[in-house]
Chain A
Amino acid sequence: MARIEILLDRCNGCKKCVSVCPFSAIVVENKKARILEGCTFCGACVNVCPFGAILLEKKEREVDLSSYRGVWIFAEQREGEVMPVTYELLSVGRKLADALEVDLSALLFGNNLREKAEAMLDYDLNKIYLVEHPLLAHYRTGPYAQAMVDLARQERPEIILIGATSIGRDLAPRVATRLRTGLTADCTDLDIEKGKRNLIQTRPALGGNIMATIISPHHRPQMATVRPRVMKRAKPNGRLRGEIIEVKPNFAKEDRMVQVLRTIKEENEVEDLQEANIIVSGGRGLGKAENFSLIRELARLLGGAVGASRAVVDAGWIPSYHQVGQTGKTVQPKLYIACGISGAIQHQVGMRTSEVIVAINKDPNAPIFNIATYGIVEDLHKFLPILIEKLENEKGR
């Protein structure tokens, strides 16, 4: 168990440690710092203390990790189609495998996927573990977790990457818990600590207000889910000719399983927000629900999707699957146009990593302008119709 202690004779109550503590776990009382129960022993305070007044002891564990080698990525498929996030994992997986000088392998689970596996071999990987079984045709937590755990126990990879999708975020914690290993959610940056072979995982926390870098130094495999649309997509190059390894899964009869009765497609008229290159979002500045037609019109012209702030979703102007922000969706399009959205932090954390942000708001003090690439201080009811007209003329040309 780690131990942290304030050396009271050295502490002068300067509060430097209080401001760096990511967990608000330090208070200063009577000019002396005191560590609260929320402390995770991260050590941020130790580094910043000018007086060396904070003592942190961490017990190092001795574990033999040398029998774990190789980088794995989970090739997510839905209805037999390999999902885009798979190619993003292949590119970051290749970078990590090269840094570690080990093989990159993909896990493809499903039924009748031989052709898809053959096609994936063009993507510069060493092995594809193809696990086929009728129970794996569509994602189900039980059989997928079983297949992955069995393979990982047998082959002992040092890293497993999974897309942070509704499937990946259901599967990864189940597998990591059964393997009793570390898992970091929703990573936006991955790297290797050479020598120690640690996976350096960086992810946003506290709604994007801070970034945290995380390692699992004493456990293997190191597992991470990776946020979609952050990593570059791998391109086929055929440089390497890998092999397909067929694996027969061994499923015990599971009678307490969750049955999927049917899958129903939704929001067909709306492009999936998280896959859209362009998003036009509306907020309270629209004035009333009917005015969303302006947003829809602009989105249609640009070939984009429609987003919304929490305020208008709560007001019932538009269904919640359009909501961008902390309690809605996190998006990262090439272009995000915020119309009549003030840009509370709650909204910003869902869209601030968009490539280009255009903000239209008649309040020059709206916080959205702090993060906008282009700010337009105008009444959207005057500006949008003119923009729409001009874009229509462009198209007509």
Chain B
Amino acid sequence: MHIIVCIKEVPDTEELSKVRINSRTNTLIREGVKSIINPFDENAIEEALRLKERYGARVTVLSMGPPQVDRSLKKALAMGADEAVLLSDKSFAGSDTLATSYTLAMGIKKIGTFDLIILGKQAIDGDTAQVGPGLAEWLNLPQITYARRIELDNGKIRAERSLEDAFEVVEAPLPVLITVTKEINIPRYPSLRGLLKAKNEKITVWTSKDLTLDKGRIGLDGSPTQVIKVFTPKPPKKGEILSGEISEIADRLILEMKKRKII
């Protein structure tokens, strides 16, 4: 069995608190924000590795981005993935979700046959959750999004798919594309042995010349959406600290809630 995991490098969640607003220009200061593997994609890697341990499989990790993304791919190798491929080319810059899913699809076509594609349910920077289903569409595959549990049975996959207030049990034949939630597992840390091994492994890098691409479908030209403005959300109104005896504070709070017709 061959499993392909697609990952994205994103700004570190914890580091987002370092993002500050320049109050004079009302703009963001993001200098010094570190990058990590998108947390949901770590769940995707972990799930692929668990399937590998349980059923036997080869795991290929695929990403698209600037050359420094090879750090994230090395981490995936250290966790236990077998191969890593990076799609990196200046002409991929400015890709929206349509162009990204197209480029990843063409990368997967070059990788060859597979049984399962796994991604995190969404990336924490864009939060769109669009690349997974888009990729499934380009590859003409069935999709199972928001999976929180999967198992294989006789060439079929069975999954629990999370909805807002329920979950579905679904079944699909392979090959299939799955996006996973963080409930599905707890990602492992790379072992020391894994880290040493990954250090010497090579990441395969493919540029636009290595892929069969329609130039009109990649990068900015292949991206229907355009970001025309970026701004910081309105700062919340300055609140009020309620002070006094505990009992007085509680009375005051209840009064305010009544005034606002909340209770």
Task: Verify if B70 is at the interface (C-beta below 8 Å from A).
Answer: no
Contact of A42 among B28, B91, B224, B228 (CB under 8 A): B228
Contact of B220 among A40, A177, A266 (CB under 8 A): A40
Does B232 make an interface contact (CB < 8 A)?
Answer: yes
Q: Hey, which chain A residues are within 8 Å of B146, CB to CB?
A: 166, 170
Q: Which residue of A lies closest to B233 (CB)?
A: A211
- Cβ of A186 and Cβ of B127 under 8 Å apart? yes
A378→B164 contact, CB < 8 A: no
CB–CB B28/A19 < 8 A? yes
Of A86-94, A123-131, A151-159, A199-207, the one with at least 4 CB within 8 A of chain B: A199-207
User: Per a CB cutoff under 8 Å, which of B19, B101, B124, B172 touches A177?
Assistant: B101
Q: Known contacts A22-B28, A215-B225, A327-B13; is A42 also within 8 Å of B253 by CB?
A: no
Query: Provided the pairs A22-B28, A209-B28 are in contact, do residues A374 and B239 lie with their beta carbons within 8 angstroms?
Result: yes
Q: Are B33 and A24 in contact (CB under 8 A)?
A: yes
Does chain A have a CB within 8 A of B237? yes
Chain A residues with Cβ under 8 A from B67's Cβ? 37
Neighbouring B residues of A111 by C-beta, 8 Å: none
A19 touches B22 (CB 8 A): yes
Which residues on the A side are within 8 Å of B173 (C-beta)? 256
**Are A19's CB and B25's CB within 8 A?**
yes
A-contacting residues, B157-176, CB 8 Å: 158, 161-173, 176
B192 on the interface (CB 8 Å rule)? no
- Expressed in whole angstroms, the minimum distance between the Cβ of A13 and any Cβ of chain B is 14
What chain A residues lie within 8 Å of B250 (beta carbons)? 383, 386-387, 390
* Bound CA–CA A173/B96 (angstroms): 12
Whether B168 pairs with A212 at a CB distance below 8 angstroms is: no
Specify which of A214, A218, A369 lies most central, judged by the most chain B CB atoms within 10 Å of its CB.
A214
Using known A-B contacts A166-B146, A214-B228, determine if residue A257 contacts B163 with beta carbons closer than 8 Å.
no
Are B14 and A346 interface neighbours, CB within 8 A? yes
C-alpha spacing A181/B137, complex, angstroms: 13
Q: Is A334 an interface residue (CB 8 A)?
A: yes
Main secondary structure of the interface of A (DSSP, over half): mixed
| Chain B stretch 1-40: residues in CB contact (< 8 A) with chain A | 11, 13-14, 16-17, 19, 22, 25, 27-31, 33, 39-40
Interface string of A194-224 (1 = CB under 8 A from B): 0000000000111111111111111100000
Contact between A265 and B256 (Cβ–Cβ < 8 Å)? no
Check if B233 sits within 8 Å of A375, measured CB to CB.
no
Q: Cβ of B172 and Cβ of A259 under 8 Å apart? A: yes
**Known interface pairs A177-B98, A259-B170. Does A22 touch B230 (Cβ–Cβ under 8 Å)?**
yes
The answer to the question of A357 belonging to the interface, with a C-beta cut-off of 8 Å to chain B, is: yes
Known: A258-B172, A263-B166, A272-B165. A218 touches B262 (CB 8 A): no
Cβ-defined contact, B142 with A210, below 8 A: no
B94 beta carbon closer than 8 Å to chain A? yes
Q: How far is the CA of A209 from the CA of B227 in the complex (A)?
A: 16
- Select the residue from A165, A170, A257, A376 with max chain B CB neighbours within 10 A: A170
B249 with A207: CB separation less than 8 A:
no
> Chain B nearest CB: distance from A7 CB in Å?
20
Task: Specify which chain B residues have a CB less than 8 angstroms from the CB of A383 in the assembled complex.
Answer: 246, 249-250
Please state if A357 and B128 are interface contacts (CB–CB under 8 Å): no
Total number of residue pairs linking A and B with CB closer than 8 Å: 290
Is the pair A210, B233 in contact by a Cβ cutoff of 8 Å?
Answer: yes
**Would you give the 0/1 interface string for B224-263, flagging 1 where the beta carbon is closer than 8 Å to chain A?**
1111111111001101111100110111011011001011
- Contacting A at CB under 8 A, from B31-68, are 31, 33, 39-40, 66-67
Indicate which residue in A169, A264, A320 contacts B182 across the interface (CB closer than 8 Å): A320
Most A-side CB within 10 Å, residue of B31, B171, B233: B233
- Picked from A20, A37, A40, A374, the residue with its CB within 8 Å of the CB of B90 is A37
- Interface pair B239/A40, CB less than 8 Å apart: no
Contact of A265 with B165 in the complex, beta carbons under 8 Å: yes
**Which residues from chain B contact A18 at a C-beta distance below 8 Å?**
31
Instruction: Please report the C-alpha to C-alpha distance between residue A134 and residue B14 in the assembled complex, in whole angstroms.
Output: 47
Q: Enumerate A163-190 residues with CB–CB distance to B below 8 Å.
A: 165-167, 169-170, 172-174, 176-178, 180-186
Bound-state CA distance A208–B126 (Å) is: 10
Cα(A185)–Cα(B168), bound, Å: 23
Indicate with 1 or 0, residue by residue over A330-349, a CB within 8 angstroms of chain B CB atoms.
Answer: 00001100000000111000
Question: Is A8 interfacial (CB 8 A cutoff)?
Answer: no
- Inter-subunit contact A375/B239 (CB<8 Å): yes
- Please give, as numbers and ranges, the residues of chain A lying within 8 Å of B11 by CB-CB distance: 24, 206
* B98/A258 in contact, CB under 8 A: no
A41, A258, A263, A274: which has the most chain B beta carbons within 10 Å?
A: A258
Closest 3 CB pairs of A and B: A182-B224, A185-B128, A177-B137
A-B contact pairs, 11 of them (CB 8 A): A19-B27, A20-B27, A141-B133, A181-B224, A215-B228, A256-B142, A262-B169, A264-B166, A369-B241, A377-B241, A390-B254
Q: Interface of A with B (CB < 8 Å)?
A: 1-2, 16, 18-22, 24, 36-44, 48, 58-59, 141-142, 165-167, 169-170, 172-174, 176-178, 180-186, 204-219, 256-267, 272, 274, 277-278, 302, 320, 326-327, 334-335, 344-346, 352, 356-358, 369-378, 382-383, 386-387, 390-391, 394
15 other A-B residue contacts (CB within 8 Å) besides A166-B162, A183-B98, A215-B225 = A2-B220, A42-B226, A181-B98, A185-B126, A205-B125, A207-B13, A207-B127, A258-B144, A277-B262, A327-B13, A352-B236, A373-B237, A373-B239, A374-B241, A374-B242
